[in-house]
């Protein structure tokens, strides 16, 4: 079960990296990053902590 969560987290980070690489996430700067993270949270089987959110935001910048 833990491996599934780790894989989901890894995939989530890869998805956000991909979005930032193709520029889709930069259209509205931080607001869009926050919305992307919120949307991502709805798709993954656990709640992101504040540290997770800050890490993902940093990856996207």
pLDDT in tens, 13-57: 787 777 666 665 555 556 667 777 788 878 877 777 777 778 877
Q: How many domains does the chain have?
A: 1
18-to-14, 35, 42, 60 alpha-carbon distances in Å: 6, 16, 18, 9
Phi/psi of residue 56, each to 5°? Answer: -65, -40
* pLDDT grade for 1, boundaries at 50, 70 and 90: very low
Q: Give which of 32, 28, 31, 21 is closest to 59, Cα–Cα.
A: 21
pLDDT score for 29 = 59
Instruction: Look up the domain containing 28 and give its range.
Output: 2-60
pTM: predicted TM-score of the whole model, two decimal places: 0.38
- Give the three-state DSSP class for 61: coil
User: Which of the pair, 7 or 27, is modelled with greater confidence?
Assistant: 7
């Amino acid at each position: 079960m833990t491996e599934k969560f780790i894989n989901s987290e890894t995939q989530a980070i890869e998805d956000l990296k991909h979005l930032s690489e193709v520029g889709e996430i930069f259209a509205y700067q931080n607001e869009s990053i926050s919305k992307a993270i919120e949307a991502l949270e709805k798709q993954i089987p656990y709640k992101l902590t504040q540290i997770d959110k800050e890490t993902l935001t940093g990856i996207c910048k």
